[in-house]
Amino acid sequence: MVQKLKLEELNRIDVETFKKVEKIPLVIILDNLRSMHNVGASFRTADAFLIEKIILCGITPQPPHREIHKAALGATESVDWGHESDINSAIQDYKTKGYEIIGIEQTTDSVMINDFNIDKSKKYALILGNEVEGISDEALPHIDTFLEIPQLGTKHSLNVSVCGGIVMWEFAKALK
């Protein structure tokens, strides 16, 4: 009979070990997210896939906050994060550090994620935009590549934390 594993059987690392473990060369930039639950979910996913860092831009809520913690389940303690008031400052900072800047957005120049070659020799910064407006218009000219997740149904977009989970998983598989 199949049984669910108990937490202690999952052999997860603790926060101290997480801090020391080599991360994948991927930074997540959250651009003006409104929902604390989306922020918390992004932290939790970043923890799951050993993401290097999360940058919270503009109005994106910052830990500590009960509503972020509800979805993050402690991942705000394990995943490194910072805040930048201006998205273009965050982009420029990571370009200077040698990261390729990837916007997850439906644009006239978007490439479907399954058609994008993730290069193991590169470092990436992925930008996820506001739940309604997407990535800030002023940031678009500074982004190197736009990726889109193929969708087959009637809706035009995915929830930002779901989108982030899909994209982080694709990059984690390719870069780890």
> 115 near 172, Cβ under 8 Å?
no
DSSP summary character for residue 59: T
What is the structure's pLDDT at 114? 97
What is the structure's pLDDT at 57? 98
**23-35 tens-digit pLDDT:** 999 999 999 999 9
Q: Which CATH number fits domain 28-175: 1.10.10.60, 3.40.1280.10, 3.40.50.300, 3.40.50.2000?
A: 3.40.1280.10
Q: What is the pTM of this model?
A: 0.96
> 30 near 3, Cβ under 8 Å?
no
User: Which two structure tokens, joined as six digits, stand for 161?
Assistant: 């934390």
What is the structure's pLDDT at 113? 98
pLDDT (average), residues 89-99: 98
Domain boundaries, given as residue ranges, for the chain: 28-175
Grouping H, G, I as helix, E, B as strand and the rest as coil, residue 86 is coil
Strands 123-128 and 111-112: unpaired
> 111 near 147, Cβ under 8 Å?
yes
**108-125 tens-digit pLDDT:** 999 999 999 999 999 999
